[in-house]
Structure 1
């Protein structure tokens, strides 16, 4: 019995040794951590230019400098070109001292000129890669190339990509003229017969310079601005200002923003900030012609007053609510008009028909772009001012 137990123990130890082997391990010192990828149109037709933003660990961790106090750049940008994304990425190895690691990529930036050519086949490589994160954000450059954007050093963040992702998040939650889109969401919209596609834009403020293998100086400021509207996978136009804000209302992604209203004889005398917002879209289909009804509901707070209005008077508050609701309604109508003129259902109205009227959807889905453009869309907005801030009447109001 003892011999049998000893033999079993010996076998367990042997198999444990085989299972515990790390045959494919790679040390961190042998890898370059990629945090952002830029994709542009190369000089040769139908070729890709891929730029990788790579972290310099010594600059991020330690800090101060190298060789006589010289400041170390927190990033290095390497580029490669090829007929596929994979080829372009692997060709960067000719310039990189370490193997690239893509598990920490937070952002994919697409150059404007490339987006106009079409992004239909761009994301296959990310969906197949075991290292890719499909939750990485996607942006489109406006007036620049992607390489210049990811080569920019931020004055507020050690790792530049954190600054870009942070700006996109902050401006979405506070101003609501841009939308967060991830790789998996882009793929779903590209393959869908029901949805169009919008992606937020990013651009420079001021001059910029960049060189391959280096980073820009600390003089560039990046701004999240506008939305790129795609049709059949190609960038066809930009949405900005109230049109972009209208998109957020329709897609039920409005978080927070400011509206300036006229007060008495003073133009833009009052600012209102919305605190809660919700949009509901319903549809009925008659004779293969859909009729959509959009109902937006919002509540807000008086943020600033520059006129002598009596906010304790319900009639005055009601006038402001009506004016505010009309502004929102006009933005929604304008955003619908833009999408209908481009025959691009960026709001997913076709998806609503498919979900609620699947049999009727089958009859109209093949010509959905044109049908969407001709659809009747009714808009209703209910706006309510619930609070006036820390005081009711402004100090300008005379007793």
Structure 2
């Protein structure tokens, strides 16, 4: 009897394994229109326009040269009143099933983002085969369609180039999963990298992701410039590899007067204390950097000069942080540094009682910054004769 039971169990396990190995609802790759990137814009009639890049392993005939030139992707745009209408119109033009499982980037055009991103993206972002590990970006000064239709000099498919730029980590990167979570959170602000085209030519275009887009209540509130974006990366613990420069000396015939550094270590800590039921926030930020260039006659190998350089960088950083805070509190009313999250952790009862009024309370919150910067590796083992003492 025992032997029969073991035989029966073995048969059941073998049957289950056979079932697991089967792909009953799978599609052959030749039957899929694989979307690598998608974007959303608002057009003049108020409708949404979606643009997709669809990759092909064999290439698509292009419109030029009698259709003989082969393109590695197809760019397709459609307008509609809602996402279902748009995707249905696109599907009617394709011999393969629309598939979002390999999408690497989603881009919102600036006008679309300012209009509000809720209405048309649900199907594209919440589809069962939609990829949550791709990146969300906002187009800076242009449309998403312009970005996705611009060929890139180093990659055959522009969406792949954009994805690789985000993975390099030198700009703010927001994954689809992080983006959706921040939209639903009371404690985290929605921020994405902002992309623009800075160079065009016969060989292709060059992108830059050197701004950050800040959202409030699912609409674009404004942009952070490159220096401001780096401060946000610092608070998020992602400053490593970022560069910064200052005008240390007046420009002359021989020298531009600039000094540049690259950060290789950073840390940030936020402390919150309550006074008369008002949070007071103290932000401590520490970083270490090495010198990248010194286009001045000043010898940074001398300790006093190096300390003066560190002081000037700290002044610039403090001014940048205070400018961000002024805009975020007074103009955007956006908790850009996610102070709410720290208040929740450090003072949970206070947060429970006030979270519904946080956006009204936030502009009144006093914030102080304490910056410590150490510049190492000045790169000069012997000072040239022209250096100032």
Q: TM-score range, shorter-chain basis?
A: 0.7 to 0.9
Per-residue CA distance 1:70-101 (angstroms, 9 max, x = gap)? 43112111223333323312320121121122
How far did residue 337 of structure 1 move? 1.3
How far did residue 236 of structure 1 move? 2.3
Residue 373 of structure 2 is matched in structure 1 by 383
The answer (yes or no) to whether the contact 1:252–1:280 under 8 Å persists in 2 is no
Secondary structure class of the residue paired with 2:361: helix
The answer (yes or no) to whether the contact 2:310–2:374 under 8 Å persists in 1 is yes
Q: How many residues are aligned here?
A: 377
Seen in structure 2, the aligned counterparts of structure 1 residues 380 and 68 have a Cα distance that, compared at 3 Å, is same
Secondary structure class of the residue paired with 1:56: strand
Q: CA RMSD in A?
A: 3.3
Residue 363 of structure 1 is matched in structure 2 by 353
Give the TM-score of the pair, scaled to structure 1: 0.83
How far did residue 28 of structure 1 move? 1.5
Gaps of at least 5 residues in structure 2 are none
State how far apart, in whole Å, the 1-side matches of 2:28 and 2:364 are: 59
Q: In structure 1, which of residues 274, 277, 296 is the aligned counterpart of residue 263 of structure 2?
A: 274
Q: In structure 1, which of residues 346, 349, 355 is the aligned counterpart of residue 339 of structure 2?
A: 349
Residue 99 of structure 1 is matched in structure 2 by 97
Per-residue CA distance 1:24-64 (angstroms, 9 max, x = gap)? 3322112121100111224543x43222201122139xx9x
How far did residue 329 of structure 1 move? 1.5
How far did residue 244 of structure 1 move? 2.6
Residue 319 of structure 1 is matched in structure 2 by 308
State how far apart, in whole Å, the 1-side matches of 2:343 and 2:16 are: 57
State how far apart, in whole Å, the 2-side matches of 1:276 and 1:391 are: 23
State how far apart, in whole Å, the 2-side matches of 1:382 and 1:398 are: 26
State how far apart, in whole Å, the 2-side matches of 1:281 and 1:40 are: 37
Residue 319 of structure 2 is matched in structure 1 by 330
Residue 58 of structure 2 is matched in structure 1 by 58
Residue 48 of structure 1 is matched in structure 2 by 48
The answer (yes or no) to whether the contact 2:135–2:166 under 8 Å persists in 1 is no
How far did residue 317 of structure 1 move? 1.7
How far did residue 12 of structure 1 move? 7.5
Secondary structure class of the residue paired with 1:57: strand
Seen in structure 2, the aligned counterparts of structure 1 residues 300 and 367 have a Cα distance that, compared at 3 Å, is same
The answer (yes or no) to whether the contact 2:257–2:296 under 8 Å persists in 1 is no
Secondary structure class of the residue paired with 1:351: helix
How far did residue 120 of structure 1 move? 3.5
State how far apart, in whole Å, the 2-side matches of 1:221 and 1:238 are: 20
1:221 lines up with 2:206 in the alignment? yes
State how far apart, in whole Å, the 1-side matches of 2:137 and 2:300 are: 42
State how far apart, in whole Å, the 1-side matches of 2:23 and 2:304 are: 74
How far did residue 305 of structure 1 move? 2.2
The answer (yes or no) to whether the contact 1:123–1:187 under 8 Å persists in 2 is no
1:162 lines up with 2:160 in the alignment? yes
How far did residue 67 of structure 1 move? 9.2
State how far apart, in whole Å, the 1-side matches of 2:124 and 2:65 are: 39
State how far apart, in whole Å, the 1-side matches of 2:261 and 2:324 are: 21
Give the TM-score of the pair, scaled to structure 2: 0.85
